Structure formats: structure tokens, C-alpha cells
Structure 1
Amino acid sequence: MTLPNALDSDIGATHLTVPTRCAILNSIWGSNYTVPHLTQDESIGSSYLRYYGEQCRNALHSKGLDALVATHADIVDTIQQLGHPSATRESVKDHLLARLPTRGEDNTEELLCETIDLAVRLFLMVDIGKLQHGFVPGQKPLLWEGGSMKKMLQDRFGAQGDATFRIVRVKLDRLFTARNLERIAGLQIVWSDNLSDHLRLMVDDTRIAIYHHASFLEHHKNSNVFPPGFIEETQRTLSLLFPQYDKQSRKWFKAQQRKFGLDSRACAAGHLTTEERQIENFTFWHDRLGILKQVFDEAEPRTIAQWWCDRRRRVQWYTFWVAAVVLTLTIFFGMVQCIEGGFQVYKAYYPS
């Protein structure tokens, strides 16, 4: 339900009223929230609305863009055009051209493209185009130059990997969680708002991007824009990385959530059974999971903390710590003997 006049406010405003928040979520997500819902629980859609506000404010740095997207209603109108089954970039561009107060300006084509790219970002949470003030270091924007949006997404998120290779059974065991990627493999986690960057290794395999907007995925589960099964599989990757019934993972994620303003639903996506954690069950994220698993398995502890946390190889772990304890005791008793010997020498020279 779209509340009357709630979308007519300026997109550059830093604060969104509750009715406006409600109208934006219902219009873009197809949800049925009411003002009392959002008043009672301010966390509903909060991570997405933060992203929404940042994208809008960044876009308005482009001179003249406010002629096409001055209010939230303008954005919703463009997104609704994108959602039509027969929509193409060209048809949406024609629709926007009719909204322009003046035509024939030198930057008309640029404004049309930036408006469409902004709407796609807000609709799909995929970095489309080259928004001048919306670039995030390490992210790779996807270009959509023409044709249907559905075809573009199919090309980007289609099935990965060779079918023969997927026959090999690789188990993503219970230790393969986001928490352990950080504390055992030493990977720095980059929380991403870009669905296209999910599970992508960056900076010489020292950082991993994780898309955390589980609420967005939940409301797009029945989307006819993304490839069939894509949203459901992405949700399963969150269940893999943030197992709901792992107490330590939940505690770790809550600390990350408070620090970075993450979507709380990411750690409430359920858990996977042993059979579901087989890598061949992942079609769209198969390759990235395979590479990430390889990096995780090949990572060697470099600090004492990592040696303590890394229990992937139990025999090696026990051997290391037994050796460490023996070495520590040897040094300790050696120092005791040295001190005792020194004390005896001192007493020999100064018996009194």
C-alpha cells in the first residue's frame, strides 16, 4: 500500500519520516507494512533505507538530475517502469524523456542514463552504470547499455562453473562460516551493498565482500526479474556463512551489526544440513564459493590467536600446543635453575 503524498518529499532530505519510509518499502519491495509496524520496530528495512538515502544523495551531485528525480515518487515511477515484463532500457528512456521539462539539452542523454542506473540500483541493489559520485573502491560496476534488464541479469548471474567440474563433491563443513573466515583464514570482511560483489575476493585474496541485506532478498524471493532460483540460493549462502543456531556466530555477527549497521535478518536465515552444504548444490555462486573454500583450506595460521582458533586439523593443533607447552615449561624451569644457581653462587661468596 502506498500512502498518499508520502512519496512527494525531496530525495535529498537526510531524514525520512515514518510514512515516507513505509511508502518507499511498500512501493519497491511490494510489502504491506503499515506506519505502526515501522513505528514499533525501527529496524524494519533500516539497512536498505540507509543505502537508498546514500544512493539518492550521491546521485544529486550530478548537475540537472533533479529535473527527473526530485522526489521519491519520481524514483518509484521509474522503478515501476523497469518492473514491466516487456520493459527495455530504451522504453524506460522514452518514458523519462516525456517527463523532462526541456529537451534537447547537451546532457539529456547523460541525465536519462544516470536516472535509469540510479533506479536499477535502488530496485535490484546491483551497482549498475558509472554514477560519478556513487563509486565504492573495490567494486566493479555492471554496465547495462540496452535491451531488457532481465537478460542483463541473466548474463551476469547465470549458472557458474563447468557442469563436469560440479560433479566433484566438495563439502562446505561447519567451520566454513564468516566468523572463521576472519579469525582463522585472516580475511578482512567487507560488508557490501552490491549484490554483484557477494563472495568476491579482493586485494590479493585478503578481503572478502559479503552482501548482508537478507530482508531485501526475502522480499524479492518471488521476483521474475532475477534468474529463477537465484534469490533462494543467495539466501542459502547467508545460512552457510551465518548459521542461525551457532551461538558464537550469532554473537560475532551482532557485534558486527552494531558496528556497521548490518541487516539483522542476515543471521536469521536458518541453517543448512550436511547434504545441503555440498558445493554442487550451489549453481549461481558455485565458482566463488569454490575459490573461497580453497583460500580457507590453504590458509595457514600466522598469529598465536589464529593457531588457537584453527582446529581444522586436530592432530596438527594438538601437536603444536603440546610442543608449545613443553617449550614453555622447558624455558620456565631453565630460568628457575639459572636463578637458583645464581642465588647459590651469591650465598657462596656472601654466606651471611
Structure 2
Amino acid sequence: MAIQSDLNCDIREPYLTNNTRCAILNTLWGLNVVPQRYSQDLGDVYLRYYSEQCMNTLNSGGFEGIVSTHADIIQIIERLREPNSTRERLKDSLRDKFPDLPSDKSEVLICEIIDLAVRLWLMIDVGEMLHGFIPGQKSLRWEQGALADLLVKRFSPSVAMPMRVVRVKLDRLFTARNIERIAGLQIVWTSNILDHLRLMVDDTRIAIYHHASFLEHHKSNPVFPQGFIDETIRTLSLLFPQYDKKSRKWFKVQQNKYGLDENVSASGHLTTEERQIENFIFWHDRLGILKQVFDEAEPSTIGQWWRDRRRRVQWYTFWVAAIVLMLTIFFGMIQCIEGGFQVYKAYYAS
């Protein structure tokens, strides 16, 4: 009953008390956290996403008769969790529960509130996303049937890359830090699992899902395909190796700048055997494409040339040639200056 009372507060209120924070996380993540022991690194990043999603959807108006408190939206999420839940059954139950909704808007309002519940529960952008849409992101259309069936189809294992890419080695240089600093790709931090590891804008940007805490507390969520969450965590371990000091330092800067989940840099560290691309079945294709773009990227600035150690022989050759060139220019300038002095002295001998 205590959790229920903590959830009975205005869902449009931007500030969440510790009691409400704990009640939301305990209900949606299956935790047992008390307000006295709540820490910001547990779920503050997710709760910010939770509040933004609620504000973006509910502030458009018309939802007062359906959702007014956190308890209202969580009740819909609880129905989504039922094993035999389908979109049709959920829509029928909401129509029965709210018979006074305007007939011309009831279908749209009910569909939008169901999509909101899915986004809050699974962090998957479902629906048209009319409010708060981020350019370039992908959304999932759920129009009928069971949500679990849709996710199995959407996240089905895929190994469709050519053999030359399938056998690619995900070496230790293949980290998010080097993807940005060496390959020059801009990292777009996303809260939509659908966009994870997706290249955008002519392969100049890469989206990375950063909610490691959410993933850690949804390992046993049966709506996701078996093994999907564990593999997603391993992609974070690949891109943000826990024992790489340079990666951790780089991510700390990113975290402070963009308000990211700090547990990303604590996702673990993969061994050489675990970094084989064949061990990734859900994210296999996107990892293969990203690695191909990373390998084919050529340095375009002096800084990138200095940081690019992917081909060490080429790196040494380039810098030896650069040093020889600089020394040649340096000594050439000295000879020119010396020659100028000699000419000057020849004409103006004392």
C-alpha cells in the first residue's frame, strides 16, 4: 500500500520525491529500494527519461480522463506484462474503463497512452512519436498482436553480413573512444534500444544506447528475446572496456556533458575470445558494418594521424616520412638564411 500511495501523485509534476522515485523503480524494475538508501546512480538517468516521455505525451492534452497519476500509467504497464496481453485486449479494456472519452478522439488517445506505457517499460520508441521526436531515430509500429511477438521478430538473430565481414576481428582498438577520435564518427547517445549501433547521416554518426542500469535490471524480462539483453550489455563492454583507463576517462567527460548512465563504464571487459563477432547474434550485422567503417576510415587531420595506431607499419612510415620532411625543410631554411648572410657580406664587406 505504501508504494501505491507514493505513486498517487501528479504525473505531470517535473520533480519526483525520493519516495516516488523508489516506488517507480521498485514497480518497473522489480527492486526493493527504500528512500533512505536511494542513490542517484541507481536510476536517475532512467527517471529523467521517464519524466521527459510523460511530459512530451501528456502535455498535449486530452489524457486527463485516462492518466493523471503515476499509478495510472503503471497499471497499464502491469497489463502489458500479462502473458496473454495483446494490443487489441488492452485497447478493449481501456475503452471499457473509460467509456466517457470523446468518440472522435478515444482511439487516438488510447493508442498514444499504450505506446507511452511501452516506452516507459521497455525504452523502445513505439508509435508515431509526435512529441519530442529526435531527428534520425527509428520508431516501432505496434498495431496488433502480442508485444513479445513483435520484439522477437524485430530483434531476431541476424547474420547476413558477407563472409569477409563475418570473420572480422573486434580488436582492442575497437572502442567508442577510438571510433570518435580516430574514425571521426560523431557519437549520438540514445535512449532508444532500436537505434543502438545504428549508423546515421551517411555513416558520419553512430547511435549508442547508454542505459546500462536499465539493461542490468531487465535481464529476466521475458518480453525480450532470450539472450538479447545480455548481448546488448556485452556490446557496451566491447565499446567501453571497464579496465581501459583512457576509455573510462573519456567516458567520464561524455557522462558529465550529456548526463549519461555512469554504469556504462562498469559493464565489464571482454576477453579476446569473447570479442569474436560470431558471439554476437542480435547485434552481429550492425557491429560488422561499424567495424568495416572504422577500418576503412582514413585520418583527415594531424591529430587523427597521431592517434591512429590500427596499422602500425603505416603509422611509423608516415611519421618517419613526416619527420624527414620537416628536417629537410628546417635545414633547407637554415641553408637559405646562411646563403643570404653570405651574399649580404659579399656585397657589404666591412
Normalization by structure 2: what TM-score? 0.96
Runs of 4+ in 1 over 6 A off after TM superposition: none
The runs of 5 or more residues in structure 1 that have no matched partner are none
Partner secondary structure for residue 91 of structure 1: helix
Correspondent of 2:261 among 248, 260, 263 = 263
Partner secondary structure for residue 152 of structure 1: helix
1:177-231 deviation line (CA, Å, top 9, x unaligned)? 0001101111000000000100000000000000000000000001111000000
Partner secondary structure for residue 151 of structure 1: helix
Q: Which residue of 1 aligns with 2:74?
A: 76
**2: distance between equivalents of 1:85 and 1:167?**
39
Correspondent of 1:133 among 131, 134, 142 = 131
How far off its partner does 1:97 sit?
1.9
Q: Which residue of 1 aligns with 2:27?
A: 27
1:208-263 deviation line (CA, Å, top 9, x unaligned)? 00000000000000111100000000000000000000010000000000000000
Report % sequence identity.
Answer: 67
Letter of the structure 2 residue corresponding to residue 345 of structure 1: V
Which is worse superposed, 72-81 or 99-108? 99-108
Aligned length: 350
How far off its partner does 1:44 sit?
1.7
Retained in 2: the 8 A contact 1:14–1:53? yes
Q: 1:143 to 1:57 in 2, by over 3 A?
A: same
**1: distance between equivalents of 2:212 and 2:168?**
25
Retained in 2: the 8 A contact 1:2–1:26? no
How far off its partner does 1:11 sit?
1.6
How far off its partner does 1:284 sit?
0.4
How far off its partner does 1:104 sit?
4.7
Q: Where do 1:243-254 residues align within 5 Å?
A: 243-254=241-252
**2: distance between equivalents of 1:2 and 1:46?**
21
Retained in 1: the 8 A contact 2:165–2:288? no
The runs of 5 or more residues in structure 2 that have no matched partner are none
1:126-175 deviation line (CA, Å, top 9, x unaligned)? 00001311311001111000100100101111111249959953321101
Partner secondary structure for residue 33 of structure 1: coil
Q: Which residue of 1 aligns with 2:96?
A: 98
Q: Which residue of 2 aligns with 1:115?
A: 113
Retained in 1: the 8 A contact 2:166–2:288? no
Letter of the structure 1 residue corresponding to residue 202 of structure 2: D
Retained in 2: the 8 A contact 1:12–1:57? yes
Normalization by structure 1: what TM-score? 0.96
Letter of the structure 2 residue corresponding to residue 323 of structure 1: A
Correspondent of 1:289 among 287, 290, 293 = 287
Partner secondary structure for residue 188 of structure 2: strand
Q: 1:116 to 1:302 in 2, by over 3 A?
A: same
Q: Which residue of 1 aligns with 2:177?
A: 179
Retained in 1: the 8 A contact 2:161–2:285? no
